[in-house]
Amino acid sequence: MTNPVSATLEDGIFIVTIDNPPVNAASEAVRAGLAQAASQFAADRSAKAMLIVAAGRTFVAGADIREFGKPLSGLALPDVVGRIEALDRPVICVIHGTALGGGLEIALGCHYRLMLKSAKIGLPEVAIGLLPGAGGTQRLPRLVGIEQATEIITSGRQIGAAEAAALGIVDQVSDNPDPKSAGLAFTREILAAGRPVRRTSEREEKLAADRARPDLIATLRKSVEAKARGQISPVRALDAIALSLDTPFAEAMQKERAMFMELLASDQSKALIHAFFSERAVSRIPEQESGRPREIRTAGVIGGGTMGSGIALSMLLAGIPVTMVERDEEGAARGRANVEKVLDEGVARGRYDLTRRNRLAHDLFRVSTDFSALREADLIIEAAFEDMEIKKDVFRRLDQVAKAGATLASNTSYLDIDAIASVTNRPADVLGLHFFSPAHIMKLLEIVVAKNTSADTAMTGFALAKALGKTGVRAGVCDGFIGNRILERYLRLAATMVEDGTSPYAIDRAVVGFGYPMGPHQMGDLAGLDIGWLARKRRIAEGYKGRYAFDYLDRLAEMKRLGQKTGRGCYIYPEGARKGEEDPEFLALIEEIRKEKAIAVRPALSEAEIIRRYLAIMINEGARVVEEGIALRPLDVDMVMLAGYGFPRWRGGPMHYVDSIGLAKVLADLEEFAAEDQEFYKPADLLVELVRKGQTFASLNDRS
């Protein structure tokens, strides 16, 4: 094992450097190296202080997540931090890049902390189903108090230098971009001032104040539980934080460790770690072998409606200049107004100031009615009306004006990219970029690689996703790509269950109970019921196959009860409310339709039964999407459902989830349901094959 931790003595300062690329994770070797350095410093009486600094782009980004799931080997991180804190001369660290999780916990074990201005800190363990397990739940409350510590630990958010200093987590912020020289200067200051050893674990002032607030933990628990929506790690993190009030430090550390180990063994942390690695693995695509992304300095967007303006915004917010082209002056003005409205909201919410807003709205953003305004654009995204002829017309015109080497994309959510590309003389430069509404917020970007899309073009799509801070997932061409194709299945299932006798409200409750932020009817109301209605009309025109059960939603759309925007849809929204109330008239309407269609109504399904069906149909379509090569791997399906469709992240996505409940069980469920509708529930060949071979979906994740 090479030692990633080195130490030198310079001018009486014992400098310890951690060098474990790419993110200096606290692996077994790093832990051993730090412990060894601490012993060396303890023995070297000529050293007046110890300075911990990291090489490369960041301070320690946490424990080594790759070691999780394997038996602990070597020293545990909390012990290493304890040894550092116990040293009898000042220990200082300098934070650059990101000090996250175990990385920040090492820093909290130091006696003084310097942070570079550009750096960020955080305890994001809850995001992977854990809690800070190297003293974070005990030391942070001693610095910032219980309330702040709970907010920081249960949100897992990253904190900038100014806030960290204001909260008292770090002692000083430095403008010096070089961690080592900044750290040395700070250490000399501390020595010159004769500042003493100051152990975080011995600081009691903040906790003393919190002990005088008897209801504090109970109040915090209510809000943490509500936000966690079924995820256990934030709630357990609060349990651990609460120990700091009444349990001696050493004993609380042992309990923190036990709770950490309990979470590490949980299905939730396995699912969240799967999501963490899948988020990174999705960008591993076959095209990276030969393709190189093209630079995107300027972009164009066709269409200033909801999608077009959202796409323009997401690029503007990433600093990419955008020219938006609309049909006429009125459309252009509307497009600009859509963009500016959201920018104004950003100012009102304090996300950025007026200067930045004006820079984005005026220096970086242009609207035009002339396609030739797109002549210089490196990337042009079409977000016109969802109609093949309109799209083809747009692409013919783009082909005329776009410069050679420009990337041409369509934001279609289901149309055939090959057909769209075929009207240009450069199909290799064409791809699908399927954004989700609201495009400047939603994390998912489906990158649709068509038959003729070149590797460079595909890679450009992925580079764009990264620049926009989105999760790009590669999809092949089919109706609905990955996400909407699976969505179509479970919406159809929901409609069938309603027609057959189950309340739409029970379905929403079951789905929310599973961990989704909302159920299918709440989602319909939020998006606008006209959207699904129009999509179904198209499907009917193209020849809808199978049982049609959406009459109850079509009827609402016909009555102009379109959801939140009209104050009434599946739910009633009292003036200004975003949470709907159940509507007895809607239930009566459903009853009427059941009678009209002479449906043999069955007893309402239980919530467990609703979920059993919901998952079976979702997983089955996920398997088909993988089998057909529309998704590269099961993990790509998981990322789509997590980043774009609200599948609870702590369940890892449908394909990870099915591995944990057993493929054979889902196959048996499908075979049972197939008695009701042979075609709808027909098991995917891939599912059948995996069950036969006794394999999991995870076994397919290694191929790329």
Site string for ligand 3H9, 192-211 (x = CB under 6 A): --------------------
> Token pair 């003595």 is at which residue?
9
How far apart, in whole angstroms, are the C-alpha atoms of residue 51 and residue 10?
10
Asked whether position 132 contacts ligand 3H9 by CB under 6 A, the answer is: yes
The answer to whether residue 75 forms part of the interface with ligand 3H9 (CB under 6 A) is no
Report the residue number, 23 or 313, with the smaller CB distance to ligand 3H9. Answer: 23
Asked whether the beta carbons of 427 and 450 are under 8 A apart, the reply is yes
Please say if 434 is a catalytic residue.
yes
Residue 512 interacts with ligand 3H9 (CB under 6 A)?
no
Among 105, 340, 525, 638, binds ligand 3H9 (CB under 6 A): 105
Interface with ligand 3H9 (CB under 6 A), residue total 24
Quick check: 499 and 599 in contact, CB under 8 A? yes
Least distance in Å: CB of 55 to ligand 3H9? 15
Using CB under 6 A as the binding rule, whether residue 264 contacts ligand 3H9 is answered as no
Stretch that binds ligand 3H9, among 122-130, 212-220, 385-393, 396-404 (CB under 6 A): 122-130
- Footprint of ligand 3H9 on residues 271-300 (CB under 6 A)? 280
The catalytic residue among 24, 413, 454, 701 is 413
Q: Kindly indicate which of the ranges 124-132, 304-312, 408-416, 692-700 contains the residues binding ligand 3H9, using the contact rule CB under 6 A.
A: 124-132
Query: Does residue 289 have an active-site annotation?
Result: no
- Which stretch, 56-64, 178-186, 510-518, 549-557, contacts ligand 3H9 (CB under 6 A)? 56-64
In this structure, are strands 13-18 and 5-10 parallel, antiparallel, or unpaired?
Answer: antiparallel
- For CA atoms 311, 317, 323, 329, give the dihedral sign: positive
Concatenating the DSSP letter of every residue in 283-351 gives T--GGGGT--PPP-S-EEEE--SHHHHHHHHHHHHTT--EEEE-SSHHHHHHHHHHHHHHHHHHHHTTS
Position among 5, 13, 77, 302 found at the interface with ligand 3H9 (CB under 6 A): 77
Sheet with 5-10, edge to edge strand ranges? 5-10, 13-18, 49-54, 91-95, 112-116, 172-174
Note if 413 is an active site residue. yes
Distances (CA, A) of 10 to 15, 523, 630: 7, 62, 58
Select the residue interacting with ligand 3H9 from 16, 110, 128, 455 (CB under 6 A).
Answer: 128
E strands present in 387-481? 407-410, 430-435, 444-448, 471-475
- Say whether residue 141 binds ligand 3H9 (CB under 6 A): no
Give CA–CA dist 161/120, Å, rounded: 6
Helix then strand count (H, E) for the chain reads 29, 19
Tokens 């991180």, residue located: 77
**Interaction of residue 665 with ligand 3H9, rule CB under 6 A:** no
Return the residue of 32, 37, 63, 408 that touches ligand 3H9, per CB under 6 A. Answer: 63
Residue closer to ligand 3H9 by CB (options 57, 451) is: 57
Secondary structure letter of residue 578 according to DSSP: S
Does position 102 bind ligand 3H9 by CB under 6 A? Answer: yes
684 three-class SS: coil
Catalytic site residue from 244, 411, 454, 484: 484
**Which pair of structure tokens corresponds to residue 359?**
């820079």
Q: Is 64 in the site for ligand 3H9 (CB under 6 A)?
A: yes
Residue 402's Cα: distance from chain center in Å?
Answer: 34
Nearer to ligand 3H9, 144 or 398 (CB): 144
Least distance between ligand 3H9 and beta carbon 322 (Å): 24
State the Cα–Cα distance between residues 144 and 207, nearest whole angstrom.
9
For the chain, how far is it from start to end, CA to CA, in angstroms?
30
128 versus 463: smaller Cβ distance to ligand 3H9:
128
Minimum gap (Å) between residue 459 Cβ and ligand 3H9:
16
Told to check if 101 binds ligand 3H9 by CB under 6 A, we report yes
Of the pair 91, 128, the CB lying nearest ligand 3H9 is at 128
* Whole-number Å distance between alpha carbons of 627 and 520: 26
d(CA 377, CA 399): 12
Q: Stretches 18-26, 28-36, 424-432, 537-545: which one binds ligand 3H9 (CB under 6 A)? A: 18-26
Pick the closer one to ligand 3H9 by CB: 100 or 487: 100
**Which residue of 80, 84, 100, 110 would you call a contact of ligand 3H9, by CB under 6 A?**
100
Distance between CA atoms of residues 267 and 286, nearest Å: 31
Establish if 213 lies at the interface with ligand 3H9 (CB under 6 A).
no
Q: Which residues bind ligand 3H9 (CB under 6 A)?
A: 22-23, 25, 61-66, 77, 98, 100-102, 105, 124-125, 128, 130, 132-134, 136, 280
Provide the annotated active-site residues. Answer: 413, 434, 446, 484
